[in-house]
Chain A
Amino acid sequence: MAAARVRRVAGAIGLRLGGAVLVVWGAATLAFLAIYLTPGDPAYAVVGGTDANPSPAVLAQIRAEYGFDQPWYVQYGSYLWRLAHGDLGTSYRLREPVATAIGQQLGGTVQLALAAGLLAVVLAIVVALLTAHRRPWIRGVSSSADLVLASMPSFWLGILLLSAFSYGLHLLPAIGNRGWQSLVLPAVTLALPLAAVLTQVLRNALEEVLEEPFITSARARGLSDTAVRLRHAMRHALIPLATMTGYLLGGLLGGTVVTETLFSRQGLGRLLLTAVNGKDLPVVIAIVVLSAVVYMVVNLAIDLVYPLIDPRLRRLA
């Protein structure tokens, strides 16, 4: 019994991993096409644009070094070969392996993303539990707040927070990476719009569940409102929350570009922006492929969480 189930689960994971590999391969191919089809000689991007006025000998040396003089299928093949071995290539601008550059910046961004993700989920659960299926005005205030928070650009939210807490009250530092104090404002900036979307999803799910007959029967057995919400309604509403959380966390890297720029924080987002500005395509591509991998892993993890939330899904898995 147990062995058969392990095999089934492993099979399901294997299928998903296969799909993930396919997506990453597709992403890498699109990325290669982006580099290959970019108008202009990539050798110029390495020396820093046509203004640098490099000598033909230098250009020829760069072309040989980066393999730009090879036909496209050789370039594509060696690109995939290196990628499969974890070699992300060499940055045009930084003149160091892309993996090294990413490794240096990864910590700050992971810290920021985890803090923001955790804050967003906790906030959403608390607010949705408190406001779902309450008097119309409580609901109205809360859903209007969600709408405004989900609508405003995150960088504007960040500017408002900076004005209030850094320049107005002098409570928190405006820029930098040092200490937990410098993490507070960027994390809140990134978390609030996410929390707004998650609250909307969770509140809708909770309100649907709270109309179910088993809720009425639980209340009839004399359970308090809090117990009904926490023990019975929450479990059902967690599934859509998990789906949405996975989707949003997978996309968090896009949000860090703006947040890290606004707060002058070191991280992958800043590295990406610098690379886009400098047409440093190997770095751009590596970060984008990394993001696709993170997205797949997060969503795979969420898929594995579903049966823990809903026992009915265990039989199917």
Chain B
Amino acid sequence: MSAAVSRRPPVAVLAALVFLAFLAASALVPQWIAPHDPLAIGPHVLAAPSAAHPLGTDENGRDVLSRIIYGTREALLLGFGAVALSLVGGSALGVLAGLGNRFVESVVMRFVDIGLAFPEMLLALVVIAVTGGGTTNALMAIGIAGIPSFARLVRAQTLGIRRAPFVEAARGLGLSEPQIVVRHILPNAIRPILVLATIGVGTATVAGAALSFIGLGTPPPAPSWGVMLSTARNFLDRSWWYGVMPGLAITLMVVSVTVVGRWLQRRTEARR
């Protein structure tokens, strides 16, 4: 147990951080990392891994490794963007419910309860049924679907902090309510929530890939892990590696994010 509390992160966390740094680089400057143009069509269709194409080629002869590297940006954008949206929306509702009077609180929380009664995937599908598909709409849909659970967490945090001595002190010093919310309540409520948001990034990334997989996210031919898997599904009888590699990228990313998130969680809990 002492290892979890010590300052130096364990090996698994270091490995996860290195992989996430690599993903961040792939998202920012894919042209420096990828060996080929992700859209360049080649003569060798569905080729097995080789020196020229380390992860083989797809049904149009495009390099699978390069497409995975270029697809990182979409995956990270969906994962982090959606969670950011849930976080902002959830914090607004949660603080409102946590600090408002009983009427405001019960109205907000009833809405949150209604939202929580749906699986997030279904909520996202409803949003897409109204707005249509595409990368931005998928991001919005997943982000909106995540708002209720964040709202509940932020409200619980706010309720705990509302009566804390330092909030009373700030009130005693004559700070206005909005100032107290922005300077004292939000920063203290958000720290534990940020840790949970880290883990939420993993779930949101998978949800984004799932939407792309069923054809409601990023449209082809743009490189996207979910779309690649959906295409690979049709060629499983001829090339199994095409179906393995993009999924491996998603799984490694989610595992890394979860490992880092759990480590942060243990650290914040140990500090208290």
| A contact residues vs B (CB 8 Å cutoff) | 22-23, 26-27, 30-31, 34, 37-38, 147-148, 151-156, 159-160, 162-163, 166-168, 174, 250-255, 257-258, 261-262, 272-273, 275-277, 279, 281, 284-285, 287-288, 291-292, 295-296
Contacts and interface: CB of A to CB of B under 8 A. Distances in A.
B126 A153 contact: no
Interface string B82-114: 000000000000000000000000000011011
30 contacts: A26-B114, A27-B114, A27-B117, A34-B126, A38-B130, A147-B258, A151-B255, A152-B247, A153-B213, A155-B229, A156-B229, A156-B247, A156-B251, A159-B232, A167-B237, A250-B117, A251-B119, A253-B122, A254-B121, A254-B125, A255-B121, A258-B213, A261-B214, A273-B125, A273-B214, A275-B129, A281-B129, A284-B126, A288-B122, A291-B122
B130 A168 contact: no
Contacts of A287: 122
B171 to A, nearest CB: 35
The secondary-structure label for the interface of chain B is helix
B206 interface: yes
B113 A23 contact: yes
The secondary-structure label for the interface of chain A is helix
Contacts of A22: 110
B221 to A, nearest CB: 19
Interface in B119-164: 119-123, 125-126, 128-130, 132
B251 A276 contact: no
B233 A159 contact: yes
Nearest to B114: A26
Nearest to B124: A254
A23 B118 CA distance: 10
7 nearest A-B pairs in the assembled complex, by CB-CB distance: A156-B247, A254-B121, A254-B119, A251-B119, A26-B114, A151-B254, A152-B251
Given A148-B251, A253-B119, A288-B118, A163 B202 contact: no
A265 to B, nearest CB: 13
